[in-house]
């Protein structure tokens, strides 16, 4: 299987030649998955009026198979891996609404969404992020807005490891950072050539 290129791949662009590591530390690109972010006055109220449960800031709630991430009082991001219909319906309602509803934070265009997994993912994360992200300190419903691999990022736990959201223009840089961190923390093979 060929190594996964970094999304969005553009010949001659910064990501040209960059690929995602696999093996003991693995990156999976979820950037193409549906997500919907609202920001600004009225966004929390509008979502609540549509029955979306709003957690405390920096916490995660579930809604119809999607995850609701509260990044600020009026900064909310919904992620769908398996809830495309619910999220598409909500986004459609928002576009048609005229009441105070915040504004689109354009997360589906502006942010990359990568999943760090593999048996040595926690060790790699220790090298990428200064926060204490051990399971007893950082639970499945917690969010950390911090730096991961020296870039501003939002991270939280997934079943496989850690999900990381960050500026999409840094995708290739992030993939290379993770590969370098992985090679420093394990003797197990880390591949970017598609051999594993």
Partner 1 sequence: MKILTCPMNGPRNIDEFQSFGPVRAEPDPDMTADADWSRHLFRAENRRGMVVEWWRHVPSNYFFLAERDLVTNEIIRTFDASERRAQS
Do 73 and 157 touch, CB atoms closer than 8 A? no
CB of 147 to partner 1, least distance (A): 6
- Contact pick of 50, 147, 176, 183 for partner 1 (by CB under 8 A): 147
* Closer residue to partner 1 (CB): 89 or 152: 152
Work out whether 31 is an interface residue with partner 1 (CB under 8 A): no
- Contact pick of 3, 54, 57, 180 for partner 1 (by CB under 8 A): 57
Work out whether 38 is an interface residue with partner 1 (CB under 8 A): no
Work out whether 54 is an interface residue with partner 1 (CB under 8 A): no
CB of 160 to partner 1, least distance (A): 23
- Contact pick of 49, 62, 93, 146 for partner 1 (by CB under 8 A): 146
- Contact pick of 41, 72, 100, 194 for partner 1 (by CB under 8 A): 72
Residues 6+ apart with CB under 8 A from 96: none
Q: Which stretch binds partner 1 (CB under 8 A): 28-36, 117-125, 144-152, 178-186?
A: 144-152
Q: Which stretch binds partner 1 (CB under 8 A): 14-22, 40-48, 114-122, 142-150?
A: 142-150
Binding site for partner 1 (CB under 8 A): 57-58, 71-72, 130-131, 144-147, 152-154
């Amino acid at each position: 299987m060929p190594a996964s290129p970094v999304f969005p791949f553009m010949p001659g662009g910064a990501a040209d030649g960059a690929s995602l590591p696999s093996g003991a530390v693995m990156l999976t690109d979820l950037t193409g998955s549906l997500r919907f972010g609202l920001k600004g006055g009225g966004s929390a109220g509008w979502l609540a009026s549509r029955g979306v449960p709003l957690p405390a800031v920096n916490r995660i709630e579930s809604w119809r198979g999607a995850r609701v991430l509260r990044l600020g009082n009026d900064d909310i991001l919904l992620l769908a891996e398996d809830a495309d219909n619910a999220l598409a319906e909500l986004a459609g309602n928002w576009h048609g609404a005229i009441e105070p509803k915040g504004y689109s934070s354009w997360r589906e265009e502006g942010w990359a969404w990568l999943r760090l997994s593999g048996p040595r993912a926690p060790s790699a994360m220790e090298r990428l992020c200064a926060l204490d992200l051990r399971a007893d300190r950082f639970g499945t419903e917690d969010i950390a807005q911090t730096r991961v691999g020296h870039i501003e990022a939002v991270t939280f736990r997934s079943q496989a490891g850690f999900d990381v959201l960050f500026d999409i223009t840094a995708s290739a840089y992030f993939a290379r950072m993770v590969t370098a961190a992985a090679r420093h923390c394990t003797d197990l093979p880390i591949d970017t050539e598609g051999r594993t």
